[in-house]
Structure 1
Amino acid sequence: MKKPHKGFRLWLTTQPTQDFPLSILQASLKVVTEPPDGIRANMQSSYSLFREDAFEQCTHPAYTSLVYGLSFFHAVVQERRKYGRIGWNVPYDFNESDLSISLSLVKMYLSKIGKGPNWLPGEAEDHAEELQATRPLPTATDIPWETLRYLIGEAMYGGRVTDDYDRRVLATYLEEYLGEFVFDNYRQFCFCKAPISYTLPADGTIAGHIEFIKNMPATNTPEVFGLHANAEISYFVDNAKSIWLGLLKINIANNSGNSNDSAVGNLKEEALVATISEILDKMPERGLYFSPGTEALTPTQVVLAQLRERQDPCEKPHKRVKITGFILSGNVDTQELDRLNLLTDTMTQSLHDLSRALRGDIGMSGDLDELALSLQAGFLPKQWRMLAPPSLKPLGSWLSHLMRRIDQYTVWIEQGTLSCYWLGGLHTPDSLLTALIQVTSRKKMVALDKLVLFTEVTDKTAAAQIESTLEHGAYIEGMFIEGARWDSTVGRLAPQTPRKLFEEMPLVKVMPVEAHHLNVRSLLRTPVYATQGRRNAMGEGWVFDAWLPYSEHPSFWILSGTALVLQTSD
């Protein structure tokens, strides 16, 4: 377009993304819209879209209260996003169209109830007043609550939700907000009682609702959303970390831009060399199980050699060894060691290459440049992260975590089995759980699809307290609970300790049982995630489900975001 019309304007809308062309942004006038902050602002935004006669479109006496209730629900599910993973595993873009279609659905059902089962179109409209006079007034008991909750939770809002546990949270809110109890004359309904009571407005007009919303608090505490007060601490900590990481990346970019040959030019090479030397000193030489004077063996060769040593020499070579803890996990530790040695070999080689580059023996490549910057900034280098299990830890904590993993693998090989497994130290923890099911299936002669995992929290806090291994299953250590705590005195879930975001769990028994024998009454299905990042939009991060006893109503723990994680981000 050589000569565009002087009144021509091109409007582009986009979600926040790193891929948007920078040249277009620089040449454009930018307008940013952000969702309202707080329940009051959210509800004011929703009510601003209602027409003045919105409440007159349905004559059912419960309609105005349901409009307010759904608007409150809409505000809550949006505000829950700001608390990160403890709010929603996957952030969802709920918008006004979800609320609008839900209100239309409610109006349709309530209008149908108001007209009664004998309503007919056409001529029957002429006798509407006569029919209405002889018909009892509609009440809250006439409303199909279960149908409304299902359609709103599974289709309207639930259509955006991809995570099963997020869908459970959504359904729990609807169970708490939509029901006959909303109109109980003997007990006033409250969306939340502490620290401020959120109730329904007494004035049923739209003007009364707007005035009622104006008097609501401008800010909200996590308790309004069913979360513990600790969730606000997590929110501020995550924001502070985000700002700090942003500043750190800007500083790295500036250093990179000011260097002559590479980004390492302006970094303190002495500190970098010391860091490289410190990490190399911790790395196993030529493989994890190399012995001086002998050729290094691969992890597979080590496992097979130890397996042959444990076999009875009188047994036929093809005869299967009796199933023990070692055989149970033989394939598991072989795969784990292969992955670990690939990681440590890559780390060792890349650090040696970086040392040579710093001495000027070889040129500085892009990968080595990224490695140097990551080591200097305390980030986990990209080429290491690609070979390591998921982790949100900074470099220092990650290295300590790696050393502990190596220690567990070493004991595993030396002893052939473990009395207690540190699940967070495995590359693929679900492979061990699958092995448990497979072994139990063979020993009990039960089909694999008939077995499920069941958990039992013990009173033991260390592996040294275990007197004997389990015949079916294994002890697991090193799991952390978020959104709740474990009360060892009563053996059930309890509310979090103030200012304590995570607490380590006692040892947990994980046992395969037949599904028809599983009794989960008064037990909460609790997700176990690999990291504090929980589960992403692709479904990655979930490991298995644990069953934990509770005393409060299950909605308390569901809305609190109760979950177990195998490793924290610290």
Structure 2
Amino acid sequence: MKYADTTETIPLVFVLSTGSDPFGAFQKFATEMGMRERVHSISLGQGQGPVAEKMINAAKPKGDWIFLQNCHLAASWMLSLEVIVAYLATETGTPAQGFRLFLSSMPTPKFPVSVLQNSVKVTNEPPKGLKANVKRALIEMEEDFFENHVLGQDWRTMLFGICMFHAIIQERKKFGPLGWNITYEFNNSDRECAMMNLQMFCEDGHMPWDALEYITSLITYGGRVTDMWDQRCLTTILKLFFSPPTLEEGYTYSESGTYYCPRSDKLEDYREYIDSLPSVENPEVFGMHENANIAFETKETVTLIQTIVDVQPRATGGGGGDTPDQIVWRICDQTRARIAKKINKSNINPALMVPDDMGQLHSLTTVLIHETDRFNTLLSLLHYSLNELQKAIKGVVVMSEAFEEVFTAFMNNRVPNMWHKKGYNSLKTLGSWIFDLTLRIDFMEKWLVEGLQPSSWVSGLFFPQGLLTGSLQSYARRYRVPIDALMFDFYPLPMFLSQEDVYKQNTRKKSTVEEQNVYLFLERPEDGINIHGLFIDAGRWDMRANLLVDPFPGQMNPPLPVVWFRPVLALPKPDPRYEAPLYKTSERAGVLSTTGHSTNFVLPVLLPSDQTQSFWIIRGTALLTQITD
């Protein structure tokens, strides 16, 4: 960014939209322009708006430069910023010659459009691809800093490892939830800070690995990470690129041996090695299965198709076919005919309402009642909205904004936001969602009338944790132990069970020929609960070996067999099983709770495997209560 500071036509405002390090680039620019000593900067956030406004007012008569960082974090102050920028263009608000206002922000709809229209826009994003990312890091690195150090080759290997680690964690974002639950904006300043820490700790030639790994994973980079499972992944990845084993000769960063640290005294040799790497990296360098690329490409395709669908006009041409009104009307009729109006709580099995010796209802009965109430609230809204939408289409009532959104959602095969707000977590399209709701209602009615079945469909509940906590509470009351001392142990059973098969059995007409029960040998356990309907993301269950193994190529979300969740007071230590987080949907991110977990998170499930914990952590392996479609 260069300009001649001699003309009055120079814009006063510069907006940096960036995914990289805006302040570092700005400092270099200010130094080149001889303004380094006249720069005032502040990082915006809660309560920083008035401070920034005072800083601008003080700098205007002096002709100083102001740099406001992270404008996207001060959404409530953006209106005030819009007024300030508009005032700069007036005769009374014109500042002294040389005054410039620099703003940095991530892309956000909250940023004032008028400010963008009256400013110079600069976009600076990290280079795409592992090769380009590491190449830029090595180009920006000074030769003396890289080549001359008391540690020699170990020093160069550690610096190269930090560059590779930085590129890996940035590129993992393209894999969506398989890479990170939450998308973090790691930038060049994180990498530079990690290198400065390395230089400070290794000045005397000693390498305190415990301190270096802790500071790099939990402070320098971990300071941005808010999800505890992402933090676990970050720490595990760091050990592959920045730990004592990486200094050994012959160490490679990937199984193929394509990625490694060259052993040379000259920085130029490292740059040449990076130039020789493939432009498109294989998922194996990220420690991921080849299916990760399928997930990435599917996500890109769905986004493109959905964008095309969203911009299509609602009105149809003069050709044949149904009009949008007719299509939506038919969807309303079909949905109302298929979905029950309510779950009748009066049909509850009297045995479920018998209190225990302490006069309390069984814990799982309480869960059943709460879940039934939630479903009835959703069903009431669903039928009300369908009825009102048909009235609006007919012209009996005015089409409100809320029902316009329902109409558009139906046309695009999406579940309306109105239903989502009262419903359960789901990423399914409209047709799949309606069928899924049918299965859930059948599951609830069967539980209500006949009691808990040999295996429970935990995916069919609004709040899956309620069923699991109810099971623990039942055990605690029975054996007189404190519930906070209990936890689950997990026993996968040699049987796959689909809720769709259970639904078919429940709705099948009775015949004189005895048909096989879908539950086969399953019986409701005396302690704990059997769970079915879970899926594996980035893994597969080998029924013969009774182990978690890699999925087959193209197999995205294979089912997990029925699992017995058994309450215990303690688990064996050390436990070699993989601790797999269980999420409600494949979009693992949710509202972050104070525990460091996403609200989409249910609980960790321990699964036996012949691989190390780190193998599955880096693969992003997790369990899901439901798949997208």
Which of the five TM-score ranges fits, normalised by the shorter chain?
0.7 to 0.9
Answer whether contact 1:64 1:205 (CA < 8 A) is retained.
no
Answer whether contact 2:494 2:561 (CA < 8 A) is retained.
yes
CA distance in 1, matches of 2:120, 2:370: 54
Q: 1:74 aligns with which of 144, 161, 166?
A: 166
Answer whether contact 1:58 1:110 (CA < 8 A) is retained.
no
Q: Which runs of 4+ in 1 moved over 6 A?
A: 5-8
**Are residue 231 (structure 1) and residue 292 (structure 2) matched?**
yes
Per-residue deviation, residues 256-295 of structure 1 (Å, max 9, x unmatched): 9x99xxxxxx95211111111000101224x222xxxxxx
- 1:269 is matched with which residue? 325
**Residues 310, 383 of structure 1: alpha-carbon distance in 2 compared, 3 angstrom cutoff:** closer
Answer whether contact 1:378 1:395 (CA < 8 A) is retained.
yes
- Kindly provide the amino acid, as one letter, of the partner of residue 587 in structure 2: G
Q: 2:247 aligns with which of 183, 198, 214?
A: 183
Per-residue deviation, residues 78-117 of structure 1 (Å, max 9, x unmatched): 11111000000111111111111111111122212x3xxx
**Are residue 445 (structure 1) and residue 480 (structure 2) matched?**
yes
- Kindly provide the amino acid, as one letter, of the partner of residue 356 in structure 1: K
- Kindly provide the amino acid, as one letter, of the partner of residue 291 in structure 2: N
- After superposition, residues 205-224 of structure 1 pair within 5 angstroms as 205-224=266-285
- 1:500 is matched with which residue? 555
- 1:143 is matched with which residue? 207
CA distance in 2, matches of 1:488, 1:504: 11
- Kindly provide the amino acid, as one letter, of the partner of residue 151 in structure 1: I
- 1:545 is matched with which residue? 604
Gaps in structure 1 of 5+ consecutive residues: 115-141, 260-265, 290-298, 312-316
Could you tell me how far 1:320 is from its partner in structure 2? 4.4
Per-residue deviation, residues 237-256 of structure 1 (Å, max 9, x unmatched): 101111111122222xx549
Partner SS for 2:103: coil
- After superposition, residues 233-382 of structure 1 pair within 5 angstroms as 233-251=294-312, 254-255=313-314, 268-285=324-341, 287-289=342-344, 299=345, 303=348, 306-307=349-350, 311=354, 319-320=357-358, 327-382=362-417
Q: 2:122 aligns with which of 31, 42, 47?
A: 31
Could you tell me how far 1:307 is from its partner in structure 2? 3.6
**Are residue 475 (structure 1) and residue 567 (structure 2) matched?**
no
Partner SS for 2:541: strand
Could you tell me how far 1:343 is from its partner in structure 2? 0.3
- 1:523 is matched with which residue? 577
CA distance in 2, matches of 1:525, 1:419: 26
Could you tell me how far 1:430 is from its partner in structure 2? 0.5
CA distance in 2, matches of 1:322, 1:9: 70
Partner SS for 1:546: strand
Per-residue deviation, residues 198-224 of structure 1 (Å, max 9, x unmatched): 111121222222222222221101111
Query: Normalising to structure 2: TM-score of the pair?
Result: 0.77
Could you tell me how far 1:58 is from its partner in structure 2? 2.9
Answer whether contact 1:390 1:531 (CA < 8 A) is retained.
yes
Partner SS for 1:525: strand
Q: 2:618 aligns with which of 556, 559, 564?
A: 559
- Kindly provide the amino acid, as one letter, of the partner of residue 156 in structure 2: T
**Are residue 193 (structure 1) and residue 249 (structure 2) matched?**
no
CA distance in 1, matches of 2:198, 2:436: 53
- Kindly provide the amino acid, as one letter, of the partner of residue 270 in structure 1: Q
Query: In the comparison of the two structures, how many residue pairs are matched?
Result: 508
Answer whether contact 1:192 1:224 (CA < 8 A) is retained.
yes
Q: 2:177 aligns with which of 85, 88, 91?
A: 85
- Kindly provide the amino acid, as one letter, of the partner of residue 420 in structure 1: S
**Are residue 2 (structure 1) and residue 93 (structure 2) matched?**
no
- After superposition, residues 133-172 of structure 1 pair within 5 angstroms as 143-172=207-236
**Residues 520, 339 of structure 1: alpha-carbon distance in 2 compared, 3 angstrom cutoff:** farther
Partner SS for 2:328: helix
**Are residue 423 (structure 1) and residue 458 (structure 2) matched?**
yes
CA distance in 1, matches of 2:432, 2:234: 35
Answer whether contact 2:181 2:227 (CA < 8 A) is retained.
yes
CA distance in 1, matches of 2:114, 2:433: 38
Could you tell me how far 1:30 is from its partner in structure 2? 3.4
Answer whether contact 1:90 1:537 (CA < 8 A) is retained.
no
CA distance in 2, matches of 1:271, 1:508: 42
- Kindly provide the amino acid, as one letter, of the partner of residue 387 in structure 1: K
- 1:464 is matched with which residue? 519
- 2:444 is matched with which residue? 409
Could you tell me how far 1:310 is from its partner in structure 2? 6.3
Could you tell me how far 1:369 is from its partner in structure 2? 1.1
Superposed CA RMSD in Å reads 2.3
Could you tell me how far 1:457 is from its partner in structure 2? 0.9
Partner SS for 1:498: coil
- Kindly provide the amino acid, as one letter, of the partner of residue 365 in structure 1: S
- Kindly provide the amino acid, as one letter, of the partner of residue 193 in structure 1: E
- Kindly provide the amino acid, as one letter, of the partner of residue 89 in structure 1: N
CA distance in 1, matches of 2:353, 2:261: 71
Q: 2:134 aligns with which of 25, 43, 49?
A: 43
**Are residue 488 (structure 1) and residue 540 (structure 2) matched?**
no
Partner SS for 2:476: helix
**Residues 19, 47 of structure 1: alpha-carbon distance in 2 compared, 3 angstrom cutoff:** same
Per-residue deviation, residues 355-381 of structure 1 (Å, max 9, x unmatched): 111122111111111111111111110
Could you tell me how far 1:10 is from its partner in structure 2? 4.5
Answer whether contact 1:532 1:569 (CA < 8 A) is retained.
yes
CA distance in 1, matches of 2:202, 2:100: 45
Partner SS for 1:13: strand
- 2:434 is matched with which residue? 399
Query: Normalising to structure 1: TM-score of the pair?
Result: 0.84
Could you tell me how far 1:333 is from its partner in structure 2? 0.8
Could you tell me how far 1:442 is from its partner in structure 2? 1.3
CA distance in 1, matches of 2:352, 2:475: 24
CA distance in 2, matches of 1:24, 1:230: 43
